[in-house]
Chains A and B, each alone.
Chain A
Amino acid sequence: MKNGLWSTLVAFLGFCLPASLLAADDYTTFVNGGSVASSLDTLAAELDAQAEQIADLQSAMKTKVDSGSSGSTMKVSGRVHADYWGYPAHDLDAEALEGGNPQNKLGFRRVRFGVAGNLLGNMRYKIEMDWANPHESAFKDVYLGWRDLPLLQTLLVGNQKRPYGLDHLNSSRFNVFLERPFIIEAYNQDARRWGLVSYGVSEDQGWNWRYGLYNSRDISGSGNYVNDHGSLEFAGRLASTFWYDEASGGRGYGHFAVAGTHAEVDEGSTETRFRTRPEARTSNRWLTTDNIADATSYDMFALEGVLNFGPVQLVGEVQNAWTTLNSGQQVHTHGAYAYVSYFLTGEHMPWKRSSGTLDRIKPHEEFFMVRTADGKTARGIGAWQLAARWSTADFSDVLTIPGHSADGVIANSFTLGVNWYRTANARVQFNYIIGDIDRDGTGANVANYEIIGSRFMVDF
C-alpha cells in the first residue's frame, strides 16, 4: 500500500512539474495530444525573452549609484532654474536704487545638486549645494539628525530653513510666483541658518510644528560663523490643517499658522538689517532698513492662512517685527501679501500636512509633442495656472532712529503670473510685476517700475 502511494505521488509530480513549465495553452495542447515541439519552441522563445530582460537589467544595474556605507540610503536630487529678467519701464528713482539703469538678466537662478537619505538606526542626513554662481558656491540644506524620537519626533542639526514665512517654507519648486514677497524675503533672507530644530506632526496630521535654536547669520557662503556674540534666535511655527478633504485627495483644505522669533543680535551687524529686492532679480536690494547700529534684539510675529477650493487657492500672510535698540527705542516694521491662483486645466495645489507647506503639482495631462508610430502628431497640454499677488512692506519707522538713514523703505507691488506645468517635474513661469518703492517715506521720491521675468525649471 505504502509503495503504491509513493509511486502515485512520484508519477503525479513527474506529470505536474514539466506541465507547470509550459504556458497554460501549451499545456492544454500538450495533454490534448498536440505537438511537443511547438511547446518547446514557445518555451525557448520565452527563455530568450527572459535572457534579454536579464541582460537589460544587468546593463541598467551598472549605472546604479549606491551609498558608500552599508545600511545607509541615498537619494540624489537636483534642480535647474534658468531665468530671464527684463525691466521695460522704470524711473530715475528706480535707477538710483539700482545704482544705474537696471540691466536685463539671463542666467541661472538655481543650479542645485544634493543627496539625502537615512543612516543605520534612526538617523538621516542631507547635503545640497547650489552652483548658480560658479565662482561662489553655497550650501543649502546641510544637516544630520534623528527620526522617530520620543517627544521631539524629528531633530535636525545643521543648515535648515528658519520656521517663519509660508512662502519661504514652500520649496522654490512649487511656489506660485518667481520670487518671494517683500516681507517674507526681507525678514528671512535666504531662509537657511545653522540650528538645532525639532519637527513634529500630530497623529491625524491636523497639527504640525517646528521650533528650535538658530544662529542668525547666513553662513551658506562662508561656512562658518566667527564672532564672540552668539547671535542666537529662538524661532517656532505652529500650524493647523483645520480642513482637509480626504475623499477628494486633498482638493479642498484650509491651513492656519502662527510663527515667531526672538533674536539677540550683535549691534550694527548684518543681522540687524532687513532688506530685499523688488520681488525680482536686481543687482541691489531696493527695500532696506540698513544696518541698525544700536539694535540689540528683535521680535517677529507672523500669521498665515491658506484656503483651497479645487483649482482655486487663496493665500495670505502678515508679519510684524519690533527691533529693540540700546536706547530703549523700539522700531516697528511690517508687511503682508495675499494671492489668488487658479488652474485653467482643473488641477489643484496639493498640500503636505506633515509640514504645512505646498506639495508637488501633478498635471492631469502632461505636455508632450511627438510623432506616433502611425505617423500622426500627438500633443498633451500640461497644466496651466493663472495667479495674481498683492504685496506690501513698510520699514519707514527706521527713519525715526536718530542719525539713521535708509534708501527705500515702503514698497508696494502687484504681480500677475502664468505657470505652465509641463510635467510634475518641469514648468515654465512668467511674471509681470508693477510696483513702487518710496525711498524716504515722504512720498516725494518714489521709484516706479515694471519688471518681467520668466523661468524654465526642472527638478529631479
Chain B
Amino acid sequence: MNKINIISTITALLLMSQVSWAGEKACSDKGKKKVCPDSSNKVCEAVPVTKSVKKSAYEVECKEICIPSYTFSFSLGKLCGLKCDTKDEKNCGREGQPKKCGRVKTVKVLKKVDGKAGEKCTYEWKIRDGKGCETKKGGSAAVTPAPQPVPAATRVPAKAATKVAPQIIQPVVFRSFTVSDQ
C-alpha cells in the first residue's frame, strides 16, 4: 500500500466521521450532501386519541309527484298571464285547465345520509426524547407518562375551561393506529 492510498483512506474515514458527527446537529448541508440529525436518543410513543366516526346510512322518503295529462289543444297556454277576476277567486286560473286532470303518484326516493356513528379510540405515534417505554416499574428516568386521551370533538371555551372538568374516555376499540408526521 503506497502513501497515496493510506492518505486517501484516512481522509475518507475522517469525512465519514464528520458526517456522523454532523448528523447529531441540526439538519445541515455538508458539501453536496444533506445531512439529517441523529434520532437515536428519541422514542416513538403511542398516544391514545378519540376520533369521531362517520357512517353513511340510507333513508327512504315518500314523495308525491304529478304525472301530467297531455292535451292536443293549446288551452293550457292561456294559464300563463291569466289575470284573476276578484269576483270569482275560487275558479280563478281554472279557465284554461284541461278537462282531464293529471295523476298523482307516490314514489320512493332513496337518500344517503352522512352522520356521526359515535367515537372510537385510536392511537397516534408521537416522538419524544428519552429511551425505553416502561412506566409501571419506574423504568428509565427519561420516560414520561403518556398523556390521557382527550376527546377531539370536545371543545372547551377558554372562559368556561375552569368550570368544566376534562373528560377522559378510555380506549375501547383497537382497530387501527396512525403515525403522525413529525
Binding site for B on A (CB under 8 A): 37, 40-41, 44-45, 48, 243, 245-249, 251-252, 309-310, 346, 364-366, 368, 370-373, 378-380
Contacts and interface: CB of A to CB of B under 8 A. Distances in A.
A364 B71 contact: no
Contacts of A366: 109-110
B159 interface: yes
Given A40-B157, A365-B109, 12 more contacts: A37-B160, A41-B160, A245-B71, A245-B72, A251-B68, A310-B67, A346-B67, A365-B107, A366-B110, A373-B58, A380-B107, A380-B110
A373 B113 contact: yes
A333 B148 CA distance: 88
Nearest to A39: B157
Contact of A44 (B71, B72, B155): B155
B105 A373 contact: no
B103 interface: yes
A41 B155 contact: yes
Given A346-B103, A373-B57, A368 B110 contact: yes
A249 B107 CA distance: 19
Contacts of B65: 364
Contacts of B155: 41, 44-45, 48
A123 B127 CA distance: 58
A441 B157 CA distance: 92
Contact of B60 (A48, A310, A378): A378
A206 to B, nearest CB: 13
Contacts of B70: 245, 248, 251-252, 309-310
A260 B157 CA distance: 78
B71 A378 contact: no
30 contacts: A37-B157, A37-B160, A44-B157, A45-B155, A48-B155, A246-B77, A247-B68, A247-B76, A248-B69, A248-B102, A249-B68, A251-B67, A251-B69, A251-B70, A252-B70, A252-B72, A346-B103, A364-B67, A364-B105, A364-B107, A366-B109, A366-B110, A372-B57, A372-B60, A373-B57, A373-B59, A373-B113, A378-B58, A378-B110, A379-B108
Interface residues of B, number: 27
B57 to A, nearest CB: 4
A235 B90 CA distance: 56
Nearest to B54: A52
Contacts of A368: 110
Contacts of B69: 248, 251, 310
Contacts of A310: 67, 69-70
A294 to B, nearest CB: 51
B57 A365 contact: no
Contacts of A245: 70-72, 76
Contact of B157 (A41, A364, A370): A41
6 closest A-B pairs by beta carbon, nearest first, are A252-B70, A247-B76, A248-B68, A373-B57, A365-B107, A378-B60
Interface string B105-124: 10111100100000000000
